Structure 1
């Protein structure tokens, strides 16, 4: 029963991250499952099985909160579903060792994407320029769906920053639209894994724990989207994902000397903590500046 409770807590934390930042549930959940020794294809299948109810509740919660653009939702979700189905079929047909290296590498990359975006204000994934929004939506969806299925996560890190670039929506609406579209992608990816018989061996007790925690937290996260200090949160999440999957890769390569292992661990903990603190200070300064600017605008007399 403690395993169920632990995964319920993990699911709640992962959904809180995803619902407020627009990314993180799949990356976080797949990282935990891989670290516990679950096979890559099973980890991705389990993560997407957990996403079915959590993304449904999250999407509905964001829709009720007015955070969803229906037109963009359809134009991203349908291509994302096609890319996700293809990615699931590909993952079920490659060797276990290749899949493990591929997934761990992807998760390290997406952890770095999250860390760079929120901690450093940099985008590691090339994003399209402003203008011609409709032209970019289908490619964004296809790429997001494919890497989401093959990496166990990645929909949010690909789609959220891309939509922030090609649309003029405020962050909460981009997060809400990305979360709502993810349900359609999760359905398609799960169908792809069923086609490849990846449902065998899924650890259903952890999956149910992820579902319970995610479903409970999803409405809360939707309400808080855009209101929390997202930069330090994203920085710490990205650093943690890089750390855990980096350890997995090092073990797969045969390990390193103990002194180097502890040195890398210390660096991987200290650097994200320092960057997160600086990101929090910068975000606080920006919010103070916005409040001062709003107050100044209200004091300017209107022309007669």
Structure 2
């Protein structure tokens, strides 16, 4: 199904005067990135991954907006905005990691309490 959809997409691009070399490069990038993304999603907690990806999205969109014809901010303004975004992004990542670690500690404590209370109270018939 995915192969058919990709083939249809690529054939549609050819009729729209889009360079198929760029489309092939994007396709190759997706093929390379997919297993990496699958590994990241499996090993990085969702809260931390969301903060990391959200920061990348905010940073790239802000860069696009600050260089657009609507805003056209100067170099000094752009670098200050980038610095603020990086600082907020770092704080969000730190907060996410701390919350994840706190949740893990709470879960471990609950498991330890549950297993510790069952061990001494059981009687055999």
Q: Is this a same-fold pair by TM over 0.5?
A: yes
Cα separation, 1, equivalents of 2:12 and 2:33? 28
Query: What is the aligned partner in structure 2 of residue 217 from structure 1?
Result: 36
Partner residue of 1:275?
Answer: 92
Cα contact 1:232–1:280 (8 A) shared by 2? yes
CA distance in 1, matches of 2:54, 2:16: 28
Whole-Å separation in 2 of the counterparts to 1:296 and 1:283: 20
1:257 alignment partner in structure 2: 74
Larger Rg: 2
Alignment partner, residue 285 of structure 1? 102
Shift of 1:266: 0.5
1:300 aligns with 2:120: no
- Matching residue of 1:230: 46
In 2, Cα distance between equivalents of 1:207 and 1:195? 14
CA distance in 2, matches of 1:273, 1:209: 27
**Deviations 1:277-300 (Å, cap 9, x if unpaired)?**
011011101111001101111223
Aligned-partner Cα distance in 1 for 2:112–2:85: 41
8 A contact 1:193–1:199 mirrored in 2? no
Runs of 4+ in 1 over 4 A off after TM superposition: 192-196
Q: Which has the higher contact order (CA 8 A, sep 6+)?
A: 1
Cα separation, partners in 2 of 1:257 and 1:291, compared to 1, 3 Å? same
For 1:50-61, what aligned pairs fall within 5 Å after superposition?
52=2
Q: Following TM superposition, by how much is the alpha carbon of 1:256 offset from its aligned partner in structure 2, in angstroms? A: 0.8
Q: Could you tell me how far apart the structure 2 residues matched to 1:199 and 1:291 are?
A: 58
CA distance in 1, matches of 2:75, 2:9: 41
For normalisation by structure 2, the TM-score amounts to: 0.70
For residues 54 and 45 of structure 2, what CA distance do their matches in structure 1 show?
15
Question: How many residues are aligned here?
Answer: 116
Unmatched runs of 5 consecutive residues or more in structure 1: 1-51, 54-185
Query: Which ranges of structure 2 fall in alignment gaps of 5 or more residues?
Result: none
